[in-house]
C-alpha cells in the first residue's frame, strides 16, 4: 500500500514539474507538498513494519522460552537421576576400597555394587530448540539480556563441562577398571569369582582411590541444576 502511495505521489511530482500552465513558485509548492507526503508515507510504512516485526519477535521469543522451560525441566530431572546413579557408584567405590584394604567382602554388597565397574553415565540434554534458534541467527529476539547470557552459559559452558567430566570418568572406568577386571577376574559357572584376590591387588587399590573424582562430578551436576532452575525462574518471571 505504501509503495503504491509513493508511486502515486512521485508521478504527481513529475506532473507538477512538467505542467506548462503553472509558474515555478506554484510548481515548487506542489512538489514540496508531494515530497512531504512521500516522506510521511515511507516513514509510516517503516514504523508499522518495525512494530509488526517487534510484535512477531516477542511472540516467537515467548514460544521459544516457554518451550525451553519444558526442556530444562526435563534436563533437571535427568540430572537428578544421574546424581542418584553417581551416588550409588560413589558408595560402591568406597565399599570396594575398604575391601581392597582389608574389610570383609559381603556377597550382597558385591552383587549390589559390581555394576559400577562397567556402567556409564552421560547427560543427554534437550538442546535441539536452543541449537535451532542459534543456527537461525535469531538469539537476539530474547530481549532480556541477562536471561540470554544465562542461557548461553548453560548450553555452551555448563553442559559441555559436565559431560567432559562424565566422559573422563566413563573412559577411566571402562578403560582401566573394566579392562583390568576382564583380564583378571575368573568367574565360574555359578557366577562366583575371585573378587577378593582382584580387589586387593595394588593395581585395583590405586585405581579405586581415584573414585574420589565422583564428588567433583556431583558438585558440577548440582551447579548445572542450579543454573537450569535459575533460567526457569527467570522465564517464569516474564511469562507467568
Domain extent at residue 103: 59-239
Q: Is residue 41 assigned to a domain? A: no
Q: Are the C-beta atoms of residues 61 and 169 closer than 8 Å to each other?
A: no
Q: Residue 206 domain-assigned?
A: yes
140 falls within a domain: yes
The predicted structure's pLDDT at residue 1: 46
Q: Please report whether residue 43 resides in a domain.
A: no
State the Cα–Cα distance between residues 61 and 115, nearest whole angstrom: 44
In a domain, 49, yes or no: no
Encode pLDDT of 111-165 as tens digits: 999 998 888 999 999 999 999 999 999 998 998 999 999 999 999 999 999 999 9
233 pLDDT above the threshold of 60: yes
In a domain, residue 22? The reply is no
Residue 192 belongs to some domain of the structure:
yes
> What pLDDT digit, counting tens, does each position of 13-41 carry?
555 545 555 554 555 666 666 666 666 66
> Would 163 be classed as within a structural domain?
yes
The C-alpha cell at 157 is: 559452558
Domain count, the chain: 1
Amino acid at each position: 500500500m505504501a509503495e503504491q502511495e509513493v508511486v502515486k505521489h512521485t508521478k504527481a511530482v513529475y506532473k507538477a514539474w512538467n505542467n506548462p500552465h503553472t509558474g515555478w513558485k506554484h510548481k515548487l509548492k506542489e512538489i514540496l507538498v508531494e515530497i512531504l507526503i512521500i516522506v510521511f508515507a515511507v516513514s509510516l510504512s517503516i514504523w508499522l513494519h518495525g512494530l509488526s516485526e517487534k510484535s512477531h519477535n516477542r511472540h516467537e521469543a515467548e514460544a521459544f522460552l516457554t518451550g525451553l522451560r519444558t526442556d530444562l525441566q526435563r534436563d533437571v530431572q535427568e540430572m537428578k537421576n544421574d546424581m542418584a546413579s553417581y551416588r550409588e557408584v560413589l558408595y560402591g567405590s568406597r565399599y570396594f576400597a575398604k575391601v581392597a584394604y582389608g574389610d570383609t567382602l559381603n556377597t550382597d554388597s558385591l552383587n549390589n555394587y559390581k555394576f559400577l565397574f562397567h556402567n556409564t553415565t552421560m547427560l543427554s540434554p534437550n538442546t535441539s530448540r536452543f541449537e535451532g534458534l542459534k543456527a537461525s541467527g535469531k538469539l537476539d529476539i530474547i530481549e532480556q539480556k541477562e536471561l540470554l547470557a544465562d542461557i548461553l552459559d548453560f548450553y555452551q559452558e555448563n553442559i559441555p563441562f559436565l559431560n567432559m567430566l562424565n566422559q573422563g570418568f566413563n573412559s577411566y572406568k571402562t578403560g582401566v577398571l573394566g579392562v583390568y577386571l576382564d583380564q583378571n577376574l575368573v568367574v565360574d559357572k555359578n557366577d562366583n569369582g575371585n573378587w577378593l584376590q582382584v580387589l586387593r591387588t595394588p593395581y585395583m587399590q590405586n585405581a579405586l582411590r581415584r573414585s574420589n573424582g565422583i564428588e567433583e562430578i556431583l558438585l558440577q551436576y548440582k551447579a548445572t541444576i542450579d543454573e537450569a532452575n535459575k533460567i526457569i525462574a527467570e522465564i517464569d518471571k516474564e511469562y507467568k
